[in-house]
Amino acid sequence: MKTESKLEKVLAAGHLAVTSECGPPRGCMPDKVREKGKYLEGVVDAINVTDNQTAMVRMSSLAASAILRQEGLNPLLQVVSRDRNRLAMQADIIGAYSLGIDTMLCLSGDHTKFGDHPMAANVHDIDSIQMIQMVKRMRDEGLFQGGAELKNPPKMFIGAAANPFADPFELRVLRLAKKIAAGADFIQTQCIFNVDKFEKWMEGVRSMGLHKKCYILAGITPIKSVGAARYMKNKVPGMDVPQEIVDRMAAQPKEKQPEEGITICIETIERLKKIEGVAGFHIMAIDWEEKVKEIVERAGLLPRPVV
């Protein structure tokens, strides 16, 4: 055990882990964070708190994570390199650990041109792989990135993201290998709709033995409507939504599409359970947190293990 993270304990014990997301509000509304957290209490092992997702200003990930921690939940702090230099990142990591937050995800972040401040500068002082290296050095060596001694280092369980569907596909496994070599303890993937392509990616992962060096959590997103399915298929870079999924949603009347989306989600989880190297699931129910319990329960992943 590298940390006291509940997520690490669940994974180390050999259980299928379950994580989900809590998108902070676009305003000073701590009760919104608590409300979303309540939907996930006892349902997941850790709650990702997004960091200015889609490059739009929201309550800080650190503040929202602290609110969830006060409620007795297990936040998973997201940190993007887009908005901070290495000094600010390290300060936030120390601050987070001092508030009882021991699990984090290192990300590059969406480009600001996609958000509500397209004129904002993208910092990217270091990239996500360098951030992983930095956090690992802080944790394992007790050193800041600049080389100075760090007293009482933050024992963070370090996560990273992977997209098995982005181009060029041939380089996806190699990029994952770099993140694992840098020090990633666990990986959360992009939303999986094309299970066949994900299985092909996992074949490459297993051929390099990466599934034995890092825990891989498969990304899952329930679709609310055929419109959402078409948008993800045609407008979201790096997303692979097969036409058969769109057609299946379109075959349902509007009022039954959310139910069909959840059914597809459950079926996907059942298929992914059979893939060697999948250590758990990351359920991204965007502004639909109230459905996560139903998904986890129907997928046979409740009750969550006590560790």
Transcribe 5-44 into DSSP letters: -HHHHHHHTTPPEEEEEEPPPSSS-HHHHHHHHHHHTTT-
Domain count, the chain: 1
* C-alpha separations of 81 from 105, 130, 155 in Å: 11, 10, 20
Backbone torsions φ then ψ of 114, nearest 5 degrees: -90, -10
Positions of the chain with pLDDT lower than 70, given as ranges = none
Residue range of the domain that includes 281: 6-298
Give me the pLDDT at residue 287, please. 85
Instruction: Give the tokens for residue 287.
Output: 């502004």
Task: Give me the half-sphere count of Cα atoms (radius 13 Å) on the Cβ side of residue 1.
Answer: 14
**Centroid of chain to Cα 12:** 18
- The alpha-carbon radius of gyration of the chain (Å, integer) is 19
| Contact (CB, 8 A) for 79 and 101 | no
In a domain, 1, yes or no: no
Question: For residue 135, what is the enclosing H or E element?
Answer: helix 128-141
* pLDDT score of 237: 81
Distance CA 52, CA 153 (A): 26
User: Is residue 304 a part of any domain in this protein?
Assistant: no
β-partners of residue 18 are 281
Residue carrying the six token digits 């094309």: 194
DSSP letter assigned to residue 305: P
Measure the CA–CA gap between 280 and 150, rounded to whole angstroms.
33
CATH number, residue 184: 3.20.20.220
Residue 73: its pLDDT value, please? 98
pTM exceeding 0.85: yes
**CB 195 within 8 Å of CB 224:** no
Give me the helix-helix angle, 257-273 and 226-235, nearest 10°.
60
What local confidence, expressed as pLDDT, does residue 236 receive? Answer: 86
Residue 305 domain-assigned (yes or no): no
The verdict on residue 307 lying in a domain is no
CA atoms within 13 A on the CB side of 31: 0
Separate counts of helices (H) and strands (E) for the chain: 11, 8
User: Counting every residue, how long is the chain?
Assistant: 307
Angle at 251 between CA 230 and CA 219, to 5 degrees: 45
Which amino acid is it at 252? Q
- State the distance between the two ends of the chain, measured CA to CA, in whole angstroms: 13
Q: CA 219 to CA 194: how far, in whole Å?
A: 11
Q: Cα dist. 18→142, 225, 233 in Å?
A: 30, 24, 25
242, 234, 152, 139: which is closest to 197 by C-alpha? 242
